[in-house]
């Protein structure tokens, strides 16, 4: 049975367009119709750029007809609304930037545009990417396509839901503490978090500058490799981007894991993990073992310190980064009589509760008398966490573990308990603290039919081995072929 256009992967769509089976305009129109049909319930998009998308698709068709080609020519993608897009509003999920239209485009987005991408729109996010459920958006909550009463994960929940509902072929997200991998796990898709410095952060509105990384949410591992290949590489506009060569990541997808050593970390299989999640992840690791990989127990002894370290480092950096939103230069302004009162009212009215909470936590951690006790100490322990990973990767090639302790929880379930919400990230934040790479790939469902993700972690600039392992597992199983079927209700 042939697939509908919105059901295609990127590599299937590229083959179809190159063979002349359909045009980029046909493909884009099919996805815009899918958005119109479903997004009233899913609420993945903050802004749909239908006119721009059709214009870009027509340009892609003309370029192909003239004999031109590009890695993503005519492929419709969605962009998380924390990445600047010239001429298209960029809200960061916050009321303080409700009408902000950037004068320039983020480097990662520009590279995809140069590769021929068609931009469908900007996806919903927890405000300034601060959250694990997309309930902290200043506009509305995104719903999980597998169960509309549940969260899609966060903060890239809009991107995750858009791909899972097949309202985009893939989407960009950002990952500061798990914000690509968590939505991928909750939504049953692939989520790739590259190493720190692999993809430029220029034009990404900063939350935690030493932690943020632009990543990919996709239908399968090959698609994530295609998008990463198009946007990775050194950028003179970002001093933290690595001057490392960018391989063809799709070349790593051999389907073979024989000889690979896969680490099983003692600290990631602990009390409190949902039994269905642990069982699915352990089965996935068994599959890799049956395919010829060697399973090796490893220890990451400072894992238990990661959560407090992360919420000190991230909030301290957020406090500094968000000081630029002052009601003077851009964004919302309360228009108060005095400059001090305008600062107070603009920030008080423009920022949501979670953003205010993190700004206050970070400001406290950086304040005189507490800097050494909190922020400096957190950075020292962060080094120990990084050293744990470096020692482990001397023994193994990849580390396998759950993405999250549970499957997607109900909307509102954790809204009144920020600490419980923060615990959703307990298995993902370590990679950001260490600056290393990781991927979430579907590995099963719980008793309620909700997706479960397998997390594969790799060393810094180790994307090839992570993608190789994820692809081999994916091809040996059928989980990635199962899709959410959100009900369409008449409005």
Which member of 94, 155, 229, 424 is catalytic? 155
Which member of 80, 193, 219, 414 is catalytic? 80
Helix (H) or strand (E) segment spanning residue 236: none
Rounded-to-integer distance, Cα 94 and Cα 479, Å: 35
Number of neighbouring beta carbons within 10 Å of residue 324: 12
Nearest Cα neighbor of 49 from 137, 122, 108, 140 is 122
Helix (H) or strand (E) segment spanning residue 58: helix 50-65
Quick check: is 155 catalytic? yes
Rounded-to-integer distance, Cα 187 and Cα 164, Å: 6
Q: In terms of DSSP bridges, do strands 294-298 and 76-80 run parallel, antiparallel, or are they unpaired?
A: unpaired
Rounded-to-integer distance, Cα 440 and Cα 217, Å: 9
Rounded-to-integer distance, Cα 129 and Cα 81, Å: 9
Rounded-to-integer distance, Cα 229 and Cα 80, Å: 19
The answer to whether residues 407 and 451 touch, using CB atoms and an 8 Å cutoff, is yes
The answer to whether residues 480 and 441 touch, using CB atoms and an 8 Å cutoff, is yes
290, 294, 300, 306: CA torsion to nearest 10: -40
Which member of 23, 179, 319, 346 is catalytic? 179
Rounded-to-integer distance, Cα 396 and Cα 398, Å: 6
3-state secondary structure of 217: strand
Prior bond to 491 cis, omega within 30? no
Nearest Cα neighbor of 125 from 77, 173, 88, 177 is 173
Rounded-to-integer distance, Cα 127 and Cα 322, Å: 12
Sheet order of strands, 190-193 included: 45-48, 118-123, 76-80, 170-174, 214-218, 190-193, 437-445, 451-458, 398-402, 261-265, 294-298
Rounded-to-integer distance, Cα 451 and Cα 440, Å: 11
Residues paired with 204 in a beta bridge: 83
Rounded-to-integer distance, Cα 455 and Cα 219, Å: 16
The answer to whether residues 172 and 159 touch, using CB atoms and an 8 Å cutoff, is yes
Quick check: is 179 catalytic? yes
Q: Which residues are catalytic?
A: 80, 155, 179
């Amino acid at each position: 049975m042939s697939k509908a256009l919105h059901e295609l992967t990127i590599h299937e769509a590229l083959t179809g367009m190159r063979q002349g089976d359909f045009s980029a305009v046909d493909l884009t129109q099919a996805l815009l119709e899918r958005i119109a049909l479903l997004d009233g319930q899913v609420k993945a998009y903050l802004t749909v750029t239908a006119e721009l998308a059709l214009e870009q698709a027509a340009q892609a068709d003309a370029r192909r007809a003239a004999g031109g080609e590009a890695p993503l020519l005519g492929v419709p993608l969605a962009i998380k609304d924390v990445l600047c897009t010239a001429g298209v509003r960029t809200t960061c999920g916050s009321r303080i930037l409700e009408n902000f239209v950037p004068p320039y485009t983020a480097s990662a987005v520009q590279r995809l545009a140069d590769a021929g991408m068609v931009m469908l729109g900007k996806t919903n996010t927890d405000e300034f990417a601060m959250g694990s459920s997309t309930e902290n958006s200043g506009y509305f909550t995104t719903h999980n396509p597998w169960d509309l009463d549940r969260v899609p994960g966060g903060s890239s929940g809009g991107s995750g839901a858009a791909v899972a509902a097949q309202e985009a072929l893939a989407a960009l997200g950002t990952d500061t503490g798990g914000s690509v991998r968590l939505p991928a796990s909750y939504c049953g898709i692939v989520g790739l978090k590259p190493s720190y410095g692999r993809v430029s952060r220029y034009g990404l509105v900063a939350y935690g500058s030493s932690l943020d990384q632009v990543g990919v949410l996709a239908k399968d591992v090959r698609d994530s490799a295609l998008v990463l290949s198009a946007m990775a590489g050194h950028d003179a506009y970002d001093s933290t981007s690595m001057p490392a060569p960018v391989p063809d990541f799709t070349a790593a997808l051999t389907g073979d894991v024989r000889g690979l050593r896969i680490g099983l970390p003692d600290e990631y299989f602990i009390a409190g993990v949902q039994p269905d999640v642990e069982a699915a992840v352990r089965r996935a690791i068994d599959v890799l073992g049956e395919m010829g990989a060697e399973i090796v127990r490893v220890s990451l002894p400072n894992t238990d310190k990661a959560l407090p370290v992360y919420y000190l480092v991230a909030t301290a950096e957020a406090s500094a980064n968000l000081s630029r939103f002052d009601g003077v230069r851009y964004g919302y302004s309360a228009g108060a009589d005095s400059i001090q009162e305008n600062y107070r009212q603009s920030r008080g009215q423009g920022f949501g509760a979670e953003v205010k909470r993190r700004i206050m936590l970070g400001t406290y951690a950086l304040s005189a008398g507490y800097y050494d006790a909190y922020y400096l100490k957190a950075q020292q322990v962060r080094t120990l966490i990084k050293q744990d990973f470096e020692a482990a990767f001397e023994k193994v090639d990849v580390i396998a573990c759950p993405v999250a302790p549970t499957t997607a929880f109900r909307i509102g379930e954790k809204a009144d308990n920020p600490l419980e919400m923060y615990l959703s990230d307990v298995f993902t934040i370590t990679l950001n603290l260490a600056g290393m790479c990781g991927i979430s790939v579907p590995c099963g469902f719980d008793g309620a039919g909700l997706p479960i993700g397998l997390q594969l972690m790799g060393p810094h600039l180790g994307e090839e081995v992570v993608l190789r392992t994820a692809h081999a597992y994916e091809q040996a199983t059928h989980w990635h072929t199962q899709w959410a079927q959100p009900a369409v209700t008449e409005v």
